[in-house]
Amino acid sequence: MDSSESSQGRLPWIEKYRPKSFLDIMGNEENVSRLSIFAQEGNLPNIIIAGPPGVGKTTTILCVARHLLGTSFKEAVLELNASNDRGIDVVRNRIKMFAQQKVTLPAGRHKLIILDEADSMTESAQQALRRTMELYSHSTRFALACNSSEKIIEPIQSRSAMLRFNKLSDAQILAKLLNVCNLENVTSTPDGLEAVVFTAQGDMRQALNNLQSTARASEQCARRMCSRFAMSHIRCWWQTCWSTAHKPSWKRPPKSCCSCGKRDTHPKTSLPTHFGSANR
Ligand SMILES: Nc1ncnc2c1ncn2[C@@H]1O[C@H](COP(=O)(O)OP(=O)(O)OP(=O)(O)O)[C@@H](O)[C@H]1O
Ligand SMILES: [Mg+2]
Write out the chain's pLDDT in tens, 280 residues. Answer: 445 555 666 899 999 999 999 999 999 999 999 999 999 999 999 999 999 999 999 999 999 999 999 999 999 999 998 666 678 888 888 999 999 999 999 999 999 999 999 999 999 999 999 999 999 999 999 999 999 999 999 999 999 999 999 999 999 999 999 999 999 999 989 999 999 999 999 999 999 999 999 887 665 554 554 444 444 544 554 555 455 444 434 444 444 444 444 443 333 333 333 333 333 2
Ligand 1 lined by 176 (C-beta under 6 Å): yes
Query: What is the Å distance from ligand 1's center to 268 Cα?
Result: 38
| CA of residue 54 to ligand 2 center, whole Å | 7
Contact (Cβ atoms closer than 8 angstroms) between residue 95 and residue 78 = yes
Rounded CA-CA distance 177/175 in Å is 6
Give the strands of the sheet with 161-164, arranged side by side.
Answer: 77-81, 111-116, 140-146, 47-50, 161-164
The secondary structure of residue 109, as a DSSP letter, is -
Q: How far apart are CA 130 and CA 146, in angstroms?
A: 16
Residue 84, pLDDT score: 66
220 — alpha (psi -120 to 50), left (phi > 0) or beta? alpha
Measured distance CA(203)–CA(209) in Å, rounded: 10
Amino acid identity for residue 173 in this structure? I
pLDDT value at position 87? Answer: 83
Ligand 1 atom, smallest distance to 205 CA: 12
Q: Tell me which H or E stretch contains 80.
A: strand 77-81
> pLDDT at position 269, please?
32
CA of 81 relative to ligand 2 center, distance in Å: 9
State if residue 145 touches ligand 1 by the CB under 6 angstroms criterion: yes
Q: Does the C-beta of 233 come closer than 6 Å to ligand 1?
A: no
Q: How far apart are CA 94 and CA 241, in angstroms?
A: 50
Ligand 1 centre to CA of 118 (Å) is 16
Report pLDDT for 10. Answer: 82
- CB of residue 275 inside a 6 A radius of ligand 1: no
Name the closest-CA residue to atom 26, ligand 1: 53
| pLDDT for position 250 | 41
Ligand 1 atom nearest 14 alpha carbon: 31
**Amino acid found at 155:** P
SS3 266: coil
Q: Please calculate the CA angle 10-53-242 and round it to the nearest 5 degrees.
A: 60
Helix (H, G, I), strand (E, B) or coil at 105: coil
d(CA 115, CA 81): 6
d(CA 248, CA 198): 14
- Using the atom order of ligand 1, give the atom closest to the CA of residue 17: 31
Of 13, 63, 205, 208, which is best to mutate to test ligand 1, by the most ligand atoms within 8 angstroms of its C-beta? 205
Pocket flag, ligand 1, residue 57 (CB < 6 Å): yes
